[in-house]
Structure 1
Amino acid sequence: MARTKEFDPDAALQRAVELFWQRGYEPTSMADLVEHLGIARASIYGTFGGKHELYLKALDRYLQHKDPQIVMALSQPGPVLPAVRTLIERYAAESALDPDRRGCMVVNTAVELAGRDAEAARAVEASWTVLETSLTSALTRAQAQGELSADKDPRGIARMLLVLFQGMRVMGRAAADPGRLRDAAAQAAALLG
Protein backbone atom coordinates (compact mmCIF):
# COMPACT_ATOMS: atom_id res chain seq x y z
CA MET A 1 0.00 0.00 0.00
CA ALA A 2 1.35 3.43 -0.94
CA ARG A 3 2.10 5.86 1.88
CA THR A 4 0.08 9.03 1.95
CA LYS A 5 1.95 12.31 1.96
CA GLU A 6 2.28 13.87 5.38
CA PHE A 7 2.30 17.37 3.91
CA ASP A 8 0.36 19.37 1.37
CA PRO A 9 2.47 19.51 -1.83
CA ASP A 10 0.57 22.57 -3.06
CA ALA A 11 1.26 24.51 0.14
CA ALA A 12 4.91 23.38 0.09
CA LEU A 13 5.26 24.58 -3.50
CA GLN A 14 3.83 27.97 -2.55
CA ARG A 15 6.35 28.23 0.31
CA ALA A 16 9.09 27.37 -2.19
CA VAL A 17 7.89 30.20 -4.45
CA GLU A 18 8.21 32.65 -1.56
CA LEU A 19 11.68 31.44 -0.57
CA PHE A 20 13.12 31.38 -4.09
CA TRP A 21 11.49 34.73 -4.91
CA GLN A 22 13.08 36.30 -1.83
CA ARG A 23 16.53 34.71 -2.03
CA GLY A 24 17.02 33.53 -5.60
CA TYR A 25 18.16 30.14 -6.85
CA GLU A 26 21.85 29.95 -5.96
CA PRO A 27 21.65 31.39 -2.42
CA THR A 28 18.87 28.94 -1.48
CA SER A 29 20.30 25.67 -0.24
CA MET A 30 18.51 22.35 0.18
CA ALA A 31 18.86 22.88 3.95
CA ASP A 32 17.01 26.21 3.55
CA LEU A 33 14.27 24.45 1.59
CA VAL A 34 13.93 21.68 4.19
CA GLU A 35 13.61 24.27 6.95
CA HIS A 36 11.30 26.67 5.11
CA LEU A 37 9.02 24.02 3.62
CA GLY A 38 8.97 22.04 6.87
CA ILE A 39 9.42 18.72 5.09
CA ALA A 40 12.24 16.21 4.86
CA ARG A 41 14.82 16.33 2.09
CA ALA A 42 13.68 12.92 0.83
CA SER A 43 10.11 14.21 0.59
CA ILE A 44 11.28 17.21 -1.43
CA TYR A 45 13.15 14.95 -3.85
CA GLY A 46 10.31 12.43 -3.99
CA THR A 47 7.65 15.04 -4.67
CA PHE A 48 9.39 17.76 -6.66
CA GLY A 49 12.73 16.36 -7.82
CA GLY A 50 15.93 18.20 -7.04
CA LYS A 51 16.42 21.86 -6.26
CA HIS A 52 16.47 22.82 -9.95
CA GLU A 53 13.20 21.04 -10.70
CA LEU A 54 11.61 22.57 -7.62
CA TYR A 55 12.77 26.03 -8.71
CA LEU A 56 11.26 25.59 -12.17
CA LYS A 57 7.99 24.39 -10.64
CA ALA A 58 8.00 27.38 -8.29
CA LEU A 59 8.63 29.73 -11.21
CA ASP A 60 5.78 28.11 -13.13
CA ARG A 61 3.49 28.58 -10.11
CA TYR A 62 4.50 32.25 -9.94
CA LEU A 63 3.74 32.68 -13.65
CA GLN A 64 0.36 30.95 -13.34
CA HIS A 65 -0.62 33.65 -10.88
CA LYS A 66 0.95 36.74 -12.49
CA ASP A 67 0.59 36.34 -16.27
CA PRO A 68 -3.22 35.80 -16.36
CA GLN A 69 -3.78 38.98 -14.33
CA ILE A 70 -2.06 41.05 -16.99
CA VAL A 71 -3.81 39.32 -19.88
CA MET A 72 -7.19 39.85 -18.20
CA ALA A 73 -6.49 43.53 -17.45
CA LEU A 74 -5.56 44.21 -21.07
CA SER A 75 -8.36 42.23 -22.70
CA GLN A 76 -11.37 43.88 -21.09
CA PRO A 77 -13.94 45.38 -23.49
CA GLY A 78 -14.13 49.13 -23.89
CA PRO A 79 -11.40 51.77 -24.02
CA VAL A 80 -7.92 50.25 -24.01
CA LEU A 81 -5.50 53.06 -23.25
CA PRO A 82 -6.75 53.62 -19.68
CA ALA A 83 -5.97 49.95 -18.95
CA VAL A 84 -2.49 50.27 -20.47
CA ARG A 85 -1.83 53.45 -18.47
CA THR A 86 -3.03 51.73 -15.30
CA LEU A 87 -0.65 48.84 -15.99
CA ILE A 88 2.25 51.28 -16.48
CA GLU A 89 1.40 53.02 -13.20
CA ARG A 90 1.01 49.67 -11.43
CA TYR A 91 4.46 48.50 -12.49
CA ALA A 92 6.01 51.77 -11.30
CA ALA A 93 4.17 51.74 -7.98
CA GLU A 94 4.80 48.06 -7.23
CA SER A 95 8.47 48.44 -8.11
CA ALA A 96 8.91 51.56 -5.98
CA LEU A 97 6.94 50.27 -3.00
CA ASP A 98 8.23 46.69 -2.79
CA PRO A 99 9.10 46.56 0.95
CA ASP A 100 11.03 43.31 0.68
CA ARG A 101 12.91 44.35 -2.48
CA ARG A 102 12.04 41.01 -4.07
CA GLY A 103 11.40 42.44 -7.50
CA CYS A 104 9.80 40.10 -9.99
CA MET A 105 10.66 36.41 -9.94
CA VAL A 106 10.79 36.38 -13.75
CA VAL A 107 13.26 39.27 -13.88
CA ASN A 108 15.25 37.76 -11.02
CA THR A 109 15.43 34.48 -12.95
CA ALA A 110 16.50 36.30 -16.11
CA VAL A 111 19.32 38.04 -14.29
CA GLU A 112 20.47 35.06 -12.24
CA LEU A 113 19.90 32.02 -14.47
CA ALA A 114 18.69 32.67 -18.00
CA GLY A 115 22.18 33.15 -19.45
CA ARG A 116 23.24 29.65 -18.41
CA ASP A 117 20.07 27.65 -17.89
CA ALA A 118 18.04 26.84 -21.00
CA GLU A 119 14.93 25.77 -19.09
CA ALA A 120 14.90 28.95 -17.02
CA ALA A 121 15.51 31.01 -20.15
CA ARG A 122 12.52 29.38 -21.88
CA ALA A 123 10.26 30.18 -18.91
CA VAL A 124 11.43 33.80 -18.86
CA GLU A 125 10.98 34.18 -22.61
CA ALA A 126 7.52 32.61 -22.47
CA SER A 127 6.43 35.09 -19.80
CA TRP A 128 7.86 38.04 -21.72
CA THR A 129 6.11 36.82 -24.88
CA VAL A 130 2.78 36.69 -23.02
CA LEU A 131 3.25 40.28 -21.85
CA GLU A 132 4.41 41.56 -25.24
CA THR A 133 1.61 39.77 -27.09
CA SER A 134 -1.02 41.05 -24.66
CA LEU A 135 0.26 44.61 -24.98
CA THR A 136 0.48 44.38 -28.77
CA SER A 137 -3.05 43.03 -29.01
CA ALA A 138 -4.40 45.71 -26.68
CA LEU A 139 -2.61 48.52 -28.51
CA THR A 140 -3.77 47.20 -31.90
CA ARG A 141 -7.31 47.23 -30.55
CA ALA A 142 -6.77 50.79 -29.25
CA GLN A 143 -5.65 51.81 -32.73
CA ALA A 144 -8.71 50.21 -34.34
CA GLN A 145 -10.93 52.06 -31.85
CA GLY A 146 -9.28 55.38 -32.66
CA GLU A 147 -7.59 55.73 -29.25
CA LEU A 148 -4.07 55.32 -30.59
CA SER A 149 -2.83 57.29 -33.55
CA ALA A 150 -2.55 55.38 -36.84
CA ASP A 151 1.12 56.38 -37.15
CA LYS A 152 2.05 54.52 -33.93
CA ASP A 153 3.53 51.02 -34.02
CA PRO A 154 1.62 48.83 -31.51
CA ARG A 155 4.28 46.10 -31.49
CA GLY A 156 7.12 48.60 -31.08
CA ILE A 157 5.33 50.32 -28.20
CA ALA A 158 4.58 46.93 -26.62
CA ARG A 159 8.26 46.02 -26.77
CA MET A 160 9.28 49.37 -25.31
CA LEU A 161 6.83 48.84 -22.43
CA LEU A 162 8.06 45.29 -21.87
CA VAL A 163 11.63 46.54 -21.52
CA LEU A 164 10.51 49.45 -19.34
CA PHE A 165 8.56 47.15 -17.02
CA GLN A 166 11.49 44.78 -16.58
CA GLY A 167 13.82 47.71 -15.93
CA MET A 168 11.40 49.08 -13.34
CA ARG A 169 11.51 45.76 -11.52
CA VAL A 170 15.32 45.81 -11.44
CA MET A 171 15.42 49.41 -10.23
CA GLY A 172 12.80 48.72 -7.59
CA ARG A 173 14.86 45.84 -6.30
CA ALA A 174 17.82 48.19 -5.98
CA ALA A 175 15.73 50.69 -3.99
CA ALA A 176 15.91 53.31 -6.73
CA ASP A 177 14.46 56.76 -6.20
CA PRO A 178 10.68 56.32 -6.62
CA GLY A 179 10.62 59.60 -8.55
CA ARG A 180 12.61 57.98 -11.35
CA LEU A 181 10.03 55.25 -11.71
CA ARG A 182 7.10 57.68 -11.59
CA ASP A 183 8.76 59.95 -14.19
CA ALA A 184 9.50 56.99 -16.48
CA ALA A 185 5.89 55.83 -16.15
CA ALA A 186 4.60 59.31 -16.97
CA GLN A 187 6.77 59.53 -20.06
CA ALA A 188 5.68 56.09 -21.24
CA ALA A 189 2.01 57.00 -20.75
CA ALA A 190 2.56 60.26 -22.65
CA LEU A 191 3.91 58.33 -25.64
CA LEU A 192 0.52 56.70 -26.01
CA GLY A 193 -1.01 60.06 -26.84
Structure 2
Amino acid sequence: MARVREFDTDQVLAAAVTTFRQHGFAGTSVQNLVEATGIGRGSLYAAFGDKEGLYLAALDRYRADFAQPLLALLDSEEPPLRLVREILVGLVDEIVQDGTRQACLIVSAATELVARDTAVASRVRETTDLLEETLTTLLRRVDPPLADPRAAARFVITVVQGLRVAGAVRPERGWLMSSVDLAVRALA
Protein backbone atom coordinates (compact mmCIF):
# COMPACT_ATOMS: atom_id res chain seq x y z
CA MET A 1 0.00 0.00 0.00
CA ALA A 2 1.35 3.44 -0.95
CA ARG A 3 2.06 5.84 1.89
CA VAL A 4 0.07 9.03 2.16
CA ARG A 5 2.05 12.27 2.22
CA GLU A 6 2.32 13.56 5.73
CA PHE A 7 3.39 17.10 4.95
CA ASP A 8 1.95 20.26 3.47
CA THR A 9 3.41 20.64 -0.03
CA ASP A 10 2.83 24.41 -0.02
CA GLN A 11 4.81 24.80 3.21
CA VAL A 12 7.61 22.59 1.89
CA LEU A 13 7.82 24.59 -1.34
CA ALA A 14 7.79 27.91 0.54
CA ALA A 15 10.69 26.72 2.71
CA ALA A 16 12.54 25.44 -0.36
CA VAL A 17 12.08 28.77 -2.17
CA THR A 18 13.53 30.62 0.83
CA THR A 19 16.46 28.22 1.11
CA PHE A 20 17.31 28.33 -2.60
CA ARG A 21 17.00 32.15 -2.57
CA GLN A 22 19.43 32.37 0.33
CA HIS A 23 22.03 29.89 -0.90
CA GLY A 24 21.47 29.28 -4.62
CA PHE A 25 21.17 25.83 -6.12
CA ALA A 26 24.81 24.79 -5.73
CA GLY A 27 25.06 26.25 -2.22
CA THR A 28 22.02 24.35 -0.98
CA SER A 29 22.57 20.79 0.18
CA VAL A 30 19.88 18.16 0.53
CA GLN A 31 20.52 18.36 4.27
CA ASN A 32 19.80 22.14 4.16
CA LEU A 33 16.49 21.31 2.48
CA VAL A 34 15.65 18.59 5.00
CA GLU A 35 16.28 21.03 7.85
CA ALA A 36 14.41 23.91 6.21
CA THR A 37 11.37 21.90 5.15
CA GLY A 38 11.11 19.64 8.17
CA ILE A 39 10.58 16.53 6.04
CA GLY A 40 12.86 13.55 5.84
CA ARG A 41 15.21 12.81 3.00
CA GLY A 42 13.11 9.84 1.89
CA SER A 43 9.93 11.95 1.78
CA LEU A 44 11.73 14.66 -0.15
CA TYR A 45 12.96 12.17 -2.74
CA ALA A 46 9.58 10.41 -2.93
CA ALA A 47 7.75 13.70 -3.53
CA PHE A 48 10.21 15.54 -5.79
CA GLY A 49 12.64 12.93 -7.11
CA ASP A 50 15.81 14.74 -6.19
CA LYS A 51 17.21 18.16 -5.32
CA GLU A 52 16.72 19.38 -8.89
CA GLY A 53 13.10 18.22 -8.87
CA LEU A 54 12.48 20.23 -5.72
CA TYR A 55 14.30 23.20 -7.27
CA LEU A 56 12.09 23.06 -10.37
CA ALA A 57 8.97 22.85 -8.17
CA ALA A 58 10.29 25.82 -6.16
CA LEU A 59 10.80 27.79 -9.38
CA ASP A 60 7.22 27.03 -10.40
CA ARG A 61 5.96 28.11 -6.98
CA TYR A 62 8.02 31.32 -7.07
CA ARG A 63 6.74 32.14 -10.56
CA ALA A 64 3.13 31.63 -9.45
CA ASP A 65 3.63 33.82 -6.37
CA PHE A 66 5.44 36.47 -8.43
CA ALA A 67 3.05 36.44 -11.38
CA GLN A 68 -0.28 36.66 -9.57
CA PRO A 69 0.10 40.29 -8.40
CA LEU A 70 1.36 41.31 -11.84
CA LEU A 71 -1.55 39.71 -13.65
CA ALA A 72 -3.92 41.54 -11.31
CA LEU A 73 -2.51 44.82 -12.65
CA LEU A 74 -4.27 44.23 -15.94
CA ASP A 75 -7.59 44.77 -14.19
CA SER A 76 -6.51 48.05 -12.59
CA GLU A 77 -7.86 51.36 -13.82
CA GLU A 78 -4.76 53.26 -12.68
CA PRO A 79 -2.54 54.86 -15.33
CA PRO A 80 -0.04 52.26 -16.59
CA LEU A 81 3.09 54.27 -15.83
CA ARG A 82 1.87 54.84 -12.26
CA LEU A 83 1.45 51.06 -11.96
CA VAL A 84 4.95 50.44 -13.31
CA ARG A 85 6.30 52.88 -10.75
CA GLU A 86 4.33 51.11 -7.99
CA ILE A 87 5.81 47.76 -9.08
CA LEU A 88 9.35 49.16 -8.98
CA VAL A 89 8.85 51.01 -5.69
CA GLY A 90 7.32 47.86 -4.18
CA LEU A 91 10.34 45.90 -5.30
CA VAL A 92 12.70 48.47 -3.74
CA ASP A 93 10.70 48.33 -0.49
CA GLU A 94 10.93 44.53 -0.49
CA ILE A 95 14.68 44.63 -1.10
CA VAL A 96 15.33 47.22 1.60
CA GLN A 97 13.09 45.53 4.19
CA ASP A 98 14.38 42.03 3.46
CA GLY A 99 17.56 42.31 5.52
CA THR A 100 18.80 38.88 4.40
CA ARG A 101 19.71 39.97 0.87
CA GLN A 102 17.87 37.04 -0.63
CA ALA A 103 18.28 36.77 -4.35
CA CYS A 104 15.40 36.68 -6.77
CA LEU A 105 15.03 32.99 -7.55
CA ILE A 106 14.54 33.72 -11.26
CA VAL A 107 17.63 35.97 -11.46
CA SER A 108 19.79 33.49 -9.56
CA ALA A 109 18.51 30.61 -11.72
CA ALA A 110 19.36 32.63 -14.83
CA THR A 111 22.89 33.36 -13.70
CA GLU A 112 23.63 30.02 -12.05
CA LEU A 113 21.92 27.33 -14.12
CA VAL A 114 20.38 28.49 -17.41
CA ALA A 115 23.48 27.80 -19.48
CA ARG A 116 23.68 24.17 -18.37
CA ASP A 117 20.18 23.05 -17.40
CA THR A 118 17.47 23.06 -20.06
CA ALA A 119 14.62 22.48 -17.60
CA VAL A 120 15.67 25.52 -15.56
CA ALA A 121 16.25 27.54 -18.74
CA SER A 122 12.74 26.70 -19.90
CA ARG A 123 11.16 27.83 -16.63
CA VAL A 124 13.16 31.05 -16.53
CA ARG A 125 12.19 31.76 -20.13
CA GLU A 126 8.50 31.05 -19.42
CA THR A 127 8.59 33.40 -16.44
CA THR A 128 10.26 36.15 -18.44
CA ASP A 129 7.80 35.65 -21.31
CA LEU A 130 4.84 35.86 -18.93
CA LEU A 131 6.21 39.06 -17.42
CA GLU A 132 6.87 40.49 -20.88
CA GLU A 133 3.34 39.72 -22.10
CA THR A 134 1.76 41.17 -18.96
CA LEU A 135 3.80 44.37 -19.08
CA THR A 136 3.32 44.74 -22.84
CA THR A 137 -0.43 44.52 -22.39
CA LEU A 138 -0.26 47.09 -19.60
CA LEU A 139 2.03 49.47 -21.51
CA ARG A 140 -0.19 49.39 -24.61
CA ARG A 141 -2.63 51.46 -22.53
CA VAL A 142 -0.18 54.36 -22.05
CA ASP A 143 -1.55 57.66 -23.36
CA PRO A 144 -0.01 59.08 -25.48
CA PRO A 145 0.96 55.68 -26.89
CA LEU A 146 4.50 54.40 -26.54
CA ALA A 147 6.37 53.81 -29.80
CA ASP A 148 7.13 50.19 -28.86
CA PRO A 149 5.28 48.82 -25.80
CA ARG A 150 7.04 45.44 -26.09
CA ALA A 151 10.50 47.04 -26.00
CA ALA A 152 9.33 49.14 -23.05
CA ALA A 153 8.18 45.97 -21.28
CA ARG A 154 11.60 44.39 -21.86
CA PHE A 155 13.21 47.53 -20.47
CA VAL A 156 11.09 47.26 -17.31
CA ILE A 157 12.07 43.58 -16.94
CA THR A 158 15.72 44.57 -17.22
CA VAL A 159 15.23 47.25 -14.57
CA VAL A 160 13.48 44.74 -12.26
CA GLN A 161 16.28 42.21 -12.64
CA GLY A 162 18.92 44.91 -12.26
CA LEU A 163 17.29 46.20 -9.07
CA ARG A 164 17.34 42.67 -7.66
CA VAL A 165 21.05 42.31 -8.34
CA ALA A 166 21.95 45.84 -7.24
CA GLY A 167 19.79 45.47 -4.14
CA ALA A 168 21.70 42.38 -3.07
CA VAL A 169 24.90 44.43 -3.21
CA ARG A 170 23.59 47.75 -1.92
CA PRO A 171 20.10 47.55 -0.36
CA GLU A 172 19.77 51.30 0.17
CA ARG A 173 16.44 52.91 -0.68
CA GLY A 174 17.78 56.21 -2.03
CA TRP A 175 20.37 54.50 -4.17
CA LEU A 176 17.83 52.10 -5.70
CA MET A 177 15.10 54.74 -6.08
CA SER A 178 17.35 56.86 -8.27
CA SER A 179 17.21 54.03 -10.83
CA VAL A 180 13.44 53.69 -10.43
CA ASP A 181 12.90 57.40 -11.01
CA LEU A 182 15.14 57.41 -14.08
CA ALA A 183 13.42 54.32 -15.52
CA VAL A 184 9.94 55.82 -15.12
CA ARG A 185 11.09 59.10 -16.70
CA ALA A 186 12.58 57.15 -19.62
CA LEU A 187 9.21 55.53 -20.27
CA ALA A 188 7.23 58.76 -20.13
TM-score (norm 1): 0.88
| 1:162 CA drift (Å) | 0.9
Q: Is residue 2:171 matched to residue 1:183?
A: no
The question of 1:165 aligning with 2:166 is answered no
**Superposition deviation, residue 100 in structure 1:** 0.9
SS of the residue 2:98 aligns to:
coil
Kept in 2, the 8 Å contact 1:101–1:175? The answer is: no
Deviations 1:12-34 (A, max 9, x none): 22221221121111111111122
Which deviates further from its counterpart, 127-136 or 164-173? Answer: 127-136
Deviation at 1:139, TM superposition (A): 1.0
Counting only pairs closer than 5 Å after superposition, residues 18-29 of structure 1 correspond to structure 2 as 18-29=18-29
The amino acid across from 1:91 in the alignment is L
Partner of 2:106: 106
* Distance of 2:187 and 2:70 partners within structure 1: 18
**Paired residues, number:** 188
Please say if residues 14 and 58 of structure 2, whose CA atoms lie closer than 8 Å, have aligned partners that are also in contact: yes
| Residues 81-130 of structure 1 deviation map (CA, whole Å, 9 limit, x = unaligned) | 22122112223333344311003111111111112111111111111111
Give the secondary structure class of the aligned counterpart of 1:141.
coil
- Are the aligned partners of 2:30 and 2:51 in contact in 1 as well (CA < 8 Å)? yes
Higher mean C-alpha displacement, 80-89 vs 40-49: 80-89
8 Å CA contact retained: 2:103, 2:165: yes
> Are the aligned partners of 1:30 and 1:51 in contact in 2 as well (CA < 8 Å)?
yes
Q: State whether residues 168 and 181 of structure 1, in contact with CA within 8 Å, keep that contact through their aligned partners in structure 2.
A: yes
The CA deviation string for residues 151-186 of structure 1, in whole angstroms up to 9 with x for no partner, is 632112111111111011001111254333111110
For 2:40 and 2:93, the matched residues in 1 are separated by 39
**Structure 2: runs of 5 or more not aligned:** none
| More divergent stretch after superposition (159-168 vs 8-17) | 8-17
1:34 aligns with 2:34: yes
Please give the secondary structure, in 2, of the residue aligned with 1:137.
helix
What residue ranges of structure 1 are gaps of 5+ in the alignment? Answer: none
What letter corresponds to residue 15 of structure 2 in structure 1?
R
What CA deviation, in whole Å up to 9, does each residue of 1:20-60 have, x standing for no partner? 12111111111112222222211111111100011000110
CA contact (8 A) 2:140 2:146 kept: no
Root mean square deviation, CA, Å: 1.8
